[in-house]
Amino acid sequence: MAPQELPGPVLLFCPADRPERYAKAFAAADGVILDLEDGVGADGKDAARAALVAALASGAVDLTRVIVRVNATGTPEHAADLTALRETGCRLIMLPKTETRAQVDGLDGDWRVVALCETALGVVNAAEIAAASNVIAVMWGAEDLIASMGGRTSRFPDGRYRDVALHARSAVLLAASAYGRPAIDAVYVNIPDLDGLAAEAEDAAASGFALKACIHPSQVAVVAAAFRADEAQVTWARRVIAAARDAGARDKGAIKVDGQMVDAPLIRQAEAILSSLR
């Protein structure tokens, strides 16, 4: 489950140059990623910053539920984004195309960073990036990753990820988990394919991702449902926790529940299932 400082489990991207969409985005999702990067055209960056700063200054945006995706380090817009945000109370940013820990360490001030590892170098360095003290979560991205390698598409025609994308997804999840950071699963770009989205989100939740990002409001309910444990899982988890409590088995070895051997790792999995209900 996502920590309190990071809203979740469902995040929704919203272009920062479309302030008329802000309220709808916040009504739909747990957290909103107001996007100054890819969601905004080159000629709309100044207007996007102005709209975002105005919304933050007016109190129209809930600071506890907003992440701002700034432009990447080294781009002309990056410094302008940070300068604009310093005028506000927002200190939670998503840094796209994070490739090295130095990029994160080099941020001045008290920025809290969601590191978006979406290039080959960023994925390779995901562990050292996750270890940075100001990184509070790590996300991966498939499309920029494939583009960074000169590839053509991250998925097979049936919607499954190609092996290299699955490797990157796993690498970022492992790196984030190793340093106690929540991992955010990438967006599902085929908006009408809600069945494919549901399957991917269910796998994300089962694998240990704390959150998943969406690109359209129609995806939010599907992802939220996937991150909620179903009735059978909850029943099993409650039986495991009750049996462990009765046996004092949390740190004392294995017990048997419904014919299944249950030891400390499975007890922790049961605890994770029940925590998803909170």
**Residue 73 lies in domain:** 10-227
Clarify whether residues 73 and 204 are in a common domain: yes
Clarify whether residues 218 and 244 are in a common domain: no
Beta strand 255-257 pairing with 260-262: antiparallel
Clarify whether residues 116 and 242 are in a common domain: no
Clarify whether residues 24 and 93 are in a common domain: yes
Clarify whether residues 167 and 264 are in a common domain: no
The amino acid at 121:
L
Q: Of 140, 159, 127, which is closest to residue 209 (Cα–Cα)?
A: 140
Residue 247 lies in a domain: yes
Residue 257 lies in a domain: yes
Q: How many separate domains does the chain show? A: 2
Clarify whether residues 162 and 32 are in a common domain: yes
Indicate yes or no: pTM above 0.85.
yes
Give the contacts of 235 (CB within 8 A, at least 6 positions apart).
none
Clarify whether residues 153 and 203 are in a common domain: yes
Sign, Cα dihedral of 247, 248, 253, 259: positive
Residue numbers in the chain where pLDDT is lower than 70: 1-4, 231-236, 248-253, 276-278
- Domain boundary (193, 209, 227) is at 227
Clarify whether residues 218 and 259 are in a common domain: no
Residue 3 lies in a domain: no
- Domain boundary (205, 227, 249) is at 227
Clarify whether residues 262 and 136 are in a common domain: no
CATH number for the domain spanning 86: value is 3.20.20.60
- What's the pLDDT at 107? 95
Residue 262 lies in a domain: yes
- What's the pLDDT at 246? 72
Planar angle of CA 42, 91, 65, nearest 5 degrees: 90
* Direct distance between the N- and C-terminal alpha carbons of the chain, in angstroms, rounded to an integer: 9
User: What pLDDT, in 10s, does the model give residues 84-132?
Assistant: 999 898 999 999 999 999 999 999 879 999 999 999 999 999 999 999 9
- What's the pLDDT at 251? 54
Quote the CA–CA distance of 147 and 61 in Å, as a whole number: 33
Clarify whether residues 207 and 246 are in a common domain: no
Q: Of 14, 51, 44, 39, which is closest to residue 29 (Cα–Cα)?
A: 14
- What's the pLDDT at 250? 54
